[in-house]
Chains A and B, each alone.
Chain A
Amino acid sequence: MNQNTAHSHSEDGASHTSPVILVKELTKTYIMGETEVHALRSVSFSVNAGEYIAIIGASGSGKSTLMNMLGLLDRPTSGSYRIGGVEAAELSKDRMADLRNTQIGFVFQRFNLLARTTALKQVGLPLFYAGVSGRESAKRAAAALARVGLGDRLDHRPEELSGGQQQRVAVARALVNNPGIVLADEPTGALDSHTGSELLALFDELHAQGITLVVVTHDMGVAARAQRIITLRDGEVLEDRANFAGQNEALPAGPLSASIANGAQNGAAAHGSNHAQLAVGAAMPATAATGGNHEDL
């Protein structure tokens, strides 16, 4: 029930980890009265364990719809979405809720904390729905809060915390059940630039700890921190490129960086080589050279 799941599902045998998220020809069409609105038209990409990716696009580009799909809050019209090796399209409502509980940690723009509830209780909420006992829950919630630097704010209520601290509580809540991925929707949208960059520093830390992060944003400054950026336009992937700056800044040394770099390539490769090369450019000759290498798509 954590990022290890992705590894255990690795059937390819090869040195590559299987993707935590595998999206293939995903479409979503809304019927509004007489007209059909194509929010997503055949979107495909994959995210490997430990990757830090940003999904960007203007409003109306379909990034919110994609976010809802990835978060198992909505079902696609067609296509396949596998999360931790499980095909989401076939899941019952309750099973979707279970996966949201165990596989996905949500960080929302507006924090979405319960009013007048202590940080410890907020963070324990996913554990409550996971059926974790009260004492164990409190222990794990306290640990998650310590992880985001709020170990001394366990009994504080949202109204007693700053915006940045509130968002940290939300991050702790997203982490508490050891999800496969952390899905953040405009996480800095309600923060000033200073606390926003503090939060992004926290994301960098989490990324360094091997947590898979998917950040949906329209803010290039936020996206720049990721090691890979997927750009959506009109419901399609316009561009899927590795972000050199993000990699340099956040990647820890060692074997993990190699696998993450591979993940970036996979995503880029899935959508044809032309724009991937365009995006990465001459600065990343290694990536461009292995651009054709895609094993599990």
Chain B
Amino acid sequence: MKIFKYLGVAVESIRAHKMRAILTMLGIIIGIAAVLITVGIGSGTAASITDRIESSGTNLLTVSSGNRGSSSSAALTMADAGVILDATRFPTVQLAAPQYTSNATLTNGASAGSYQVMGTTPAYATMHGLDLNAGAFLTAAQVEDNENVVVLGATVATDLFGGQEPLGQSIRVGDALFTVTGVLASTGSSGFGSSDSMVYVPLDVALGRLFNVTRVRGSYTISGIGIQVKTQEDLDPTALQVEQVLRLRHGLGADDENDFSISNQADLLEMASDVSGSLSALLGGIGAVSLVVGGIGIMNIMLVSVTERTREIGLRKALGAHDRDILLQFLVEALVLCTLGGLIGIALSYSVAWGLGLIPGLSSTVVIEPWAVMLALAVSTGSGFVFGLYPALRATQLDPIEALRYE
């Protein structure tokens, strides 16, 4: 290949002009690193969202009271939950956990804070695969007997107890005294709905003693019902069946909107990947713009370099270089510079990803995917060709006499 003949010339020239080479590469280095890091942040975020949704269990349906567009007030009740828990009517339902969630102030001596308190049943921990750090989750007996016991999320336990052992201690939830019987293991995730920042009490304790929830037709209203079906195939039929039964029970006419909503994990996953997909595309787009800017920078410096090397070009022509030789020399030089810049950019993005991974508390990491690296390399080499061609053509067009005389 004739190209390889010029590789040596290009490397020679780059080594002879290191500063110029670095300046030329800078645009590509920054562009490639920017694209890889932004796309990597997008991929990392997507991975962490997917992780979180998957870790909270699959085969799950969530029935929530209320619905956007519905005028009627929340009407999901314990009676509704009782029907769904009836195995004869819902044979595909493996577990179901009624939930009531509200905020309450938790106090341990001088430490206090407002947390989300969920009243639920033991099934909730099984469905969501909650791990205990100490003690146990709510037991069937505690729920049955309406005991004042509380299970703390990892963050809550640290907030209220610091380094102390929380298990067996008494704390106030609202005005009532509760005994801590369990502390959850940290999941590492944060934000809304994370079990780390929640506390759990027996369902009826929440409904009655703690929040004194309103009743509809003699039955406590609840926030939602978590349902775990037996297999993934059961998800859709079960959702349909639950919807029909609840519509009947709530006396909704054919034209009425649901006054509840049913969602499943698959929907959430899809939504999350949609969001992260468009996030990646957006960030990648910004990165691509910076690559184009970098490429134009290369063209700029290559053009300057052609002018600066006018005498060299004249000399090479005088010594017998064909136009093609000059073209290939400059083109190969641009290709080498851009590929080298791309490789440095890739290395830079890996080190930035590694550096970000060292920062504690960042929930999502930068995930640099192999396809993105391949693409980055292809793009940097391609931009070397595109933005190197014009300066190289300019170099071939120099008149050797003028070029030799050029000062």
Which of B12, B318, B320, B321 is the most central at the interface, judged by chain A CB atoms within 10 Å of its CB? B320
Measured between beta carbons, the chain A residues less than 8 angstroms from B319 are 100-101, 106, 125-126, 129, 173
Q: How far is the CA of A106 from the CA of B401 in the complex (A)?
A: 13
Measured between beta carbons, the chain A residues less than 8 angstroms from B314 are 112
Measured between beta carbons, the chain B residues less than 8 angstroms from A129 are 316, 319-322, 325
Nearest-CB residue, chain B, relative to A118 = B12
Please give the distance in Å from B328's CB to the nearest CB on chain A: 12
Q: Which of A230-273 contact B (CB under 8 A)?
A: none
In the assembled complex, B400 has its CB within 8 A of some CB on chain A: yes
Measured between beta carbons, the chain A residues less than 8 angstroms from B15 are 116
Measured between beta carbons, the chain B residues less than 8 angstroms from A115 are 16-17
Q: How far is the CA of A102 from the CA of B320 in the complex (A)?
A: 8
Q: How far is the CA of A102 from the CA of B318 in the complex (A)?
A: 11
In the assembled complex, B147 has its CB within 8 A of some CB on chain A: no
In the assembled complex, A294 has its CB within 8 A of some CB on chain B: no
Main secondary structure of the interface of B (DSSP, over half): helix
In the assembled complex, A114 has its CB within 8 A of some CB on chain B: yes
Q: How far is the CA of A30 from the CA of B29 in the complex (A)?
A: 48
Asked if B16 and A73 make an inter-chain contact with CB atoms under 8 angstroms apart, the answer reads: no
Asked if B12 and A117 make an inter-chain contact with CB atoms under 8 angstroms apart, the answer reads: yes
Asked if A73 and B321 make an inter-chain contact with CB atoms under 8 angstroms apart, the answer reads: no
Q: Which of B1-27 contact A (CB under 8 A)?
A: 9, 12, 15-17
Asked if B323 and A100 make an inter-chain contact with CB atoms under 8 angstroms apart, the answer reads: no
In the assembled complex, A91 has its CB within 8 A of some CB on chain B: no
In the assembled complex, A191 has its CB within 8 A of some CB on chain B: no
Fill in one digit per residue for B300-320: 1 if any A CB lies within 8 Å of its CB, else 0.
Answer: 000000000001101111111
Please give the distance in Å from A105's CB to the nearest CB on chain B: 9
Measured between beta carbons, the chain B residues less than 8 angstroms from A112 are 311, 314-315, 318, 404
Please give the distance in Å from A159's CB to the nearest CB on chain B: 11
Q: How far is the CA of A112 from the CA of B311 in the complex (A)?
A: 7
Measured between beta carbons, the chain B residues less than 8 angstroms from A121 are 12
Asked if B318 and A100 make an inter-chain contact with CB atoms under 8 angstroms apart, the answer reads: yes
Asked if B12 and A71 make an inter-chain contact with CB atoms under 8 angstroms apart, the answer reads: no
Interface size on B, residues (CB 8 A): 22
Asked if B320 and A116 make an inter-chain contact with CB atoms under 8 angstroms apart, the answer reads: no
Measured between beta carbons, the chain B residues less than 8 angstroms from A98 are 320, 322
Fill in one digit per residue for A128-146: 1 if any B CB lies within 8 Å of its CB, else 0.
Answer: 1110000000000000000
Please give the distance in Å from B205's CB to the nearest CB on chain A: 83
Measured between beta carbons, the chain A residues less than 8 angstroms from B404 are 73, 108, 112
Q: How far is the CA of A108 from the CA of B401 in the complex (A)?
A: 12
Q: How far is the CA of A220 from the CA of B311 in the complex (A)?
A: 28
Please give the distance in Å from B7's CB to the nearest CB on chain A: 12
Asked if A73 and B400 make an inter-chain contact with CB atoms under 8 angstroms apart, the answer reads: yes
In the assembled complex, A94 has its CB within 8 A of some CB on chain B: yes
Q: Which of A87-130 contact B (CB under 8 A)?
A: 93-94, 97-98, 100-102, 106, 108, 112, 114-117, 121, 125-126, 128-130
Nearest-CB residue, chain B, relative to A103 = B320
Asked if A93 and B325 make an inter-chain contact with CB atoms under 8 angstroms apart, the answer reads: no
Please give the distance in Å from B21's CB to the nearest CB on chain A: 12
Q: How far is the CA of A140 from the CA of B324 in the complex (A)?
A: 25
Please give the distance in Å from A185's CB to the nearest CB on chain B: 9
Q: How far is the CA of A173 from the CA of B320 in the complex (A)?
A: 12
Measured between beta carbons, the chain B residues less than 8 angstroms from A117 are 12, 16
Nearest-CB residue, chain B, relative to A100 = B320
Main secondary structure of the interface of A (DSSP, over half): helix
In the assembled complex, A5 has its CB within 8 A of some CB on chain B: no
In the assembled complex, A186 has its CB within 8 A of some CB on chain B: no
Nearest-CB residue, chain B, relative to A177 = B320
Contact for A73 among B312, B323, B401, CB less than 8 A: B401
Asked if B316 and A125 make an inter-chain contact with CB atoms under 8 angstroms apart, the answer reads: yes
Asked if A97 and B317 make an inter-chain contact with CB atoms under 8 angstroms apart, the answer reads: yes
Q: How far is the CA of A73 from the CA of B317 in the complex (A)?
A: 9
Please give the distance in Å from B314's CB to the nearest CB on chain A: 8
In the assembled complex, A29 has its CB within 8 A of some CB on chain B: no
Q: How far is the CA of A126 from the CA of B317 in the complex (A)?
A: 10
Measured between beta carbons, the chain A residues less than 8 angstroms from B318 are 71, 73, 100, 106, 112
Q: How far is the CA of A112 from the CA of B325 in the complex (A)?
A: 19
Fill in one digit per residue for B362-401: 1 if any A CB lies within 8 Å of its CB, else 0.
Answer: 0000000000000000000000000000000000000011
In the assembled complex, A10 has its CB within 8 A of some CB on chain B: no
Please give the distance in Å from B402's CB to the nearest CB on chain A: 10
Q: How far is the CA of A97 from the CA of B320 in the complex (A)?
A: 4
Q: How far is the CA of A71 from the CA of B314 in the complex (A)?
A: 13
Nearest-CB residue, chain A, relative to B324 = A94
In the assembled complex, A74 has its CB within 8 A of some CB on chain B: yes
Please give the distance in Å from B237's CB to the nearest CB on chain A: 75
Nearest-CB residue, chain A, relative to B312 = A114
Nearest-CB residue, chain B, relative to A157 = B16
Which of B9, B319, B324, B400 is the most central at the interface, judged by chain A CB atoms within 10 Å of its CB? B319
Which of A102, A112, A126 is the most central at the interface, judged by chain B CB atoms within 10 Å of its CB? A112
In the assembled complex, A195 has its CB within 8 A of some CB on chain B: no
In the assembled complex, A68 has its CB within 8 A of some CB on chain B: yes
Nearest-CB residue, chain B, relative to A67 = B401
Measured between beta carbons, the chain B residues less than 8 angstroms from A102 are 320
Measured between beta carbons, the chain B residues less than 8 angstroms from A74 are 401
Please give the distance in Å from B142's CB to the nearest CB on chain A: 82
Nearest-CB residue, chain B, relative to A185 = B404
Q: Which of B277-336 contact A (CB under 8 A)?
A: 311-312, 314-325
Q: How far is the CA of A141 from the CA of B326 in the complex (A)?
A: 22
Please give the distance in Å from A187's CB to the nearest CB on chain B: 14
Fill in one digit per residue for B37-62: 1 if any A CB lies within 8 Å of its CB, else 0.
Answer: 00000000000000000000000000
Q: How far is the CA of A253 from the CA of B31 in the complex (A)?
A: 70
Measured between beta carbons, the chain A residues less than 8 angstroms from B317 are 73, 97, 100
7 A–B contacts from the bound complex (CB under 8 Å): A71-B318, A97-B317, A98-B322, A106-B318, A108-B404, A115-B16, A177-B320
Across the A-B interface, give the 3 residue pairs with the lowest CB-CB distance, nearest first: A101-B320, A116-B16, A129-B320
Other A-B pairs beyond A94-B324, A100-B320, 16, CB < 8 Å: A73-B318, A93-B322, A97-B320, A98-B322, A100-B318, A100-B319, A101-B319, A108-B315, A108-B404, A112-B404, A114-B315, A116-B15, A117-B12, A126-B320, A129-B316, A129-B325
